[in-house]
Structure 1
Amino acid sequence: MQAMIFAAGKGTRLKPLTDSIPKALVEVKGKTLLARTIESLKAAGCERIVVNVHHFSEQIKDYLARHDFGIDIRISDETSRLLDTGGGIKSAAALLDVTRPVLIHNVDILSNVDLQNFYNYSTGADVRMLVSRRKTKRYLIFNTNMRLVGWTNIETSEIKSPYPTLRQLKFEAPDKVGYLQHNHYLLAFSGIHVVGPELFNCLRAERENVFPIMIFYLRYADRLNILGYEKPDLKILDVGKLDTLRQAEQFVDEEL
């Protein structure tokens, strides 16, 4: 098993903390978000982890040099240029075995997901995305086979999809039982996904080096087998803002 941790972001939503340290080194109950993610991946059987860095990159490099996690950890250095999520995966490919699936994990996500089972379950898909039924403004759109077909902003009614007929629909804010609309599911992305070899083949053909992975997924949704997985008892927290950082200690105690 191999993985990549997105740790290059500027962490603007966590200011003023991230005025002096990278988001990856923000602590929850005395342990950095980076350490928590690495330990979760190692416990799942991960043998190699690639960490991309940009904001205060030297601090993350020094931190990893000073802490031995007993696992092969490599740095994908974006210090000179932040590549966004899609460009980040594309650049990190040289440090990974792209003939095997790679689990991608945002550094600021805490969850109760069994990462090993999720990784193994994703065999056969070009991309497997962990999704959930939560309130948001932006939803991924899946057909009844849980294949990604588009994205929508329910406030603006904007739809992005390679399928013209889907772009003619209008989706409303889901209620507790309303995540199925027009025979499609509206689900929110968790920040955890597994990508397979065919995805890397498509990334190599991509001319751009800086782009979001979600835009790439939507562009290839009619060509790649991009599937969603909804964990029924999912507990997840995005520790990306100061208010959720305050909730994180309770989350660690109660859910993890």
Structure 2
Amino acid sequence: MAMTGENDRQMPVSGGIDRAMLDGLAAEVAASGLSPKRLRHVLAVRDMAARLAGLYCPEDTELLQAAALLHDMTKELSPQEQIALCDRYGIPRTRGDVLAPKCFHAMTAAALIPVMYPAFADPRIVSAVRWHTTGRVGMTLDEKLIYLADYIDESRTFPDCVTLRNLFWDAHPEQMEMPARLAHLRTVLIVSYDMTITGLIRDGVPVSPDTFLARNELLCEQNGL
């Protein structure tokens, strides 16, 4: 993927996202040089995002699908390329980020959306992409759904992903009233953070403070605090 300079930044097109725009974006992403495995994942996240939107916010289905299509646009760049993008766009990084480079792609993808895909530079899309890996305190519903879609899409075969996918869908959230449905989402997100933190500790990799804080916030909410 060619890196684009700051001088090439364009203003986003106003208005909503329609099906033709989404189809065009999918075609652009497919032609962007992602590996076949990564592209399958991206398309599966798009499909999962649509399913989740149908449960929680049908009016935002297209927006969430766009975020899903863009969430991994820099995933396959090298750590050196990621750091170069951070430097170019003034993205802060910590020593922990350098030791856990998988976190970089969420930051760099969010920075590049207004540059490479200005028609999709809606702040909600950019934010959902930015936080899809670590989570954060005060996550919006959009951010939660893209985070979860990335974790449980049908292309995922890692045991934790399969377990979490089954945990979410086996409870039949489509049969729940909205308050229970939102509580179920919160429970599943807490489990996902537990899985992520446990795996990172096992691998000897730094855990993003954003992940700890996101988990703690949801636990407090779950306990009425």
Fold conserved (TM > 0.5)? Answer: no
| Structure (1 or 2) with the larger CA radius of gyration | 1
Q: TM-score, normalised by structure 1?
A: 0.27
**Structure with the larger strand share:** 1
**When the two structures are superposed, what TM-score results if normalisation uses the length of structure 2?**
0.29
Compare relative contact order (CA 8 Å, sep 6+) and give the higher one, 1 or 2: 1
